[in-house]
Amino acid sequence: MSTLKVDTITKADGTGSLSVPAESGTVVTTASPSLGRRNLIINGAMQVAQRGTSFANGEYSVDRFYVGSVGTLAVTQDSDAPDGYNQSLKLSVSSTATPASNQANQIRHFIEGYNTSHLNYGTSSAQDVTISFWVKSSIAGQYSIALRNNDASRFRPQSYTINSTNTWEYKTITIAGDTTGTWATDNTIGLGLHFGFGAGVDRREPSGSWTSSLAFGSDGDVVLTETSGATFYLTGVQLEVGSVATPFEHRSYGEELALCQRYFHKLSRDYNNGIIGSGYFYANTTCRGFIPMPTTMRSYPSVSHGDVTDVRCGYGGGSSAASGFAGLDGATKSGVWVGYTTSSGTQGHGALLYMYPSDPEISFDAEL
């Protein structure tokens, strides 16, 4: 391996130069020039929370992070975070349980295959990756992360240690790329990253090797759900190519939100009578409308409602409140056709869809 050492980088026109700060070994500091896009994790700083700020286990929490466990957890977006971060994902055990043989406690993040194809997994050119993150728990001891492929036929558990209770600690783990197995390179799961906190006996394998067995952890891992009131915090999650953990890639909130909206998007009323789409009356009491998405979604989304009566179909001279969701009439990755039953209208007339009056919600889901 060659090493390039320079003191300055001179502009091509000779008008100036950029000083390069001293480095120790191969470590890259925050003072170094920009390293470009590196982090394959979306919302690793836990900033975006379209679904809310309080959740249960067995569902998505802050965007792109799913929490599944035995027992009962209170899952929240929390302001307790290390320096340089404002948010974390917090788990708190409300009722205790021990994972059975086919169960695993985990925080899960799936990365789309289009974003992992350059890792070359399943070939002799498979790339090493480094996972870095900040973690804090009320229980010190051994925990595990795990990587997996799309069909869960390849797993790599890797243990790490939380040394002190209730203290933010920075962890870095490098994992050799998998040269075997089948790895998706399309809009399905390219790579799964799991943060384990206790798994049943047939969901554990020795740390440090790729395996064809389901392995979300290793023997000796802390089982967080066995202790009432136990807590676990996570933030600053980064997964990048190579064997060096670089500084966390902070993206703007707007960019992070747009990346999240490829997988999940929630419409809420940002202002009085917020317009969400346009359409026409298919019949006197049926309104069809097209709702555009803010970004191209991963796949055709499913649609779910809060209170359907919070949607109105506006027409010249008045409006008609929706009394039922007639269904998803068609979907593209850029928008959906939806139908509502109403109390009035005129077949063939145009209509505007808008949200009214209090706190309506419509969600579009294309999660992996």
Q: Which residue shows structure tokens 């799913």?
A: 66
Q: How confident is the model at residue 32 (pLDDT cuts 50, 70, 90)?
A: very low
Query: Does the N-terminal peptide bond of residue 33 adopt cis geometry, omega within 30 degrees of 0?
Result: no
- Whole-prediction pTM: 0.90
Alpha helices in the chain (DSSP H): 253-261
CB neighbour list of residue 196: distance below 8 Å, 6 or more residues apart? 104, 105, 106, 143, 144, 145, 146, 157, 216, 217, 221
- Beta partners for 174? 130
pLDDT for res 28: 46
pLDDT for res 57: 94
Q: How far is CA 365 from CA 137, 297, 304, 341, 361, in A?
A: 31, 9, 8, 23, 13
pLDDT for res 307: 84
Q: What is the spatial distance between Cα 75 and Cα 168, in angstroms, rounded to a whole number?
A: 18
324-338 pLDDT, tens per residue?
998 898 999 999 999
> In 3D, which of 234, 237, 258, 257 has the Cα closest to residue 248?
237
Specify the DSSP class assigned to residue 113: G
Q: What is the spatial distance between Cα 137 and Cα 292, in angstroms, rounded to a whole number?
A: 42
Q: How confident is the model at residue 365 (pLDDT cuts 50, 70, 90)?
A: very high
Q: How confident is the model at residue 310 (pLDDT cuts 50, 70, 90)?
A: confident
Protein fold of 54-261: Jelly Rolls (2.60.120)
Domain boundaries, the chain: 54-261, 264-365
Specify the DSSP class assigned to residue 151: T
DSSP per-residue codes, 181-227: S----SSSEEEEEEEEEEE-GGGB--TTS-BSS--SB-TT---GGGS
pLDDT for res 301: 96
Average pLDDT score, the chain: 91
CB neighbour list of residue 86: distance below 8 Å, 6 or more residues apart? 45, 47, 79
Q: How confident is the model at residue 29 (pLDDT cuts 50, 70, 90)?
A: very low
Q: Which of 109-118, 127-136, 261-270, 342-351 has the lowest mean pLDDT?
A: 261-270
Inter-residue contact 324 to 340 (CB < 8 Å): yes
Q: Is 7 exposed, middle or buried (0-12, 13-18, 19+ CB in 10 A)?
A: exposed
Q: Is the predicted pLDDT of residue 11 greater than 50, yes or no? A: no
pLDDT for res 303: 93
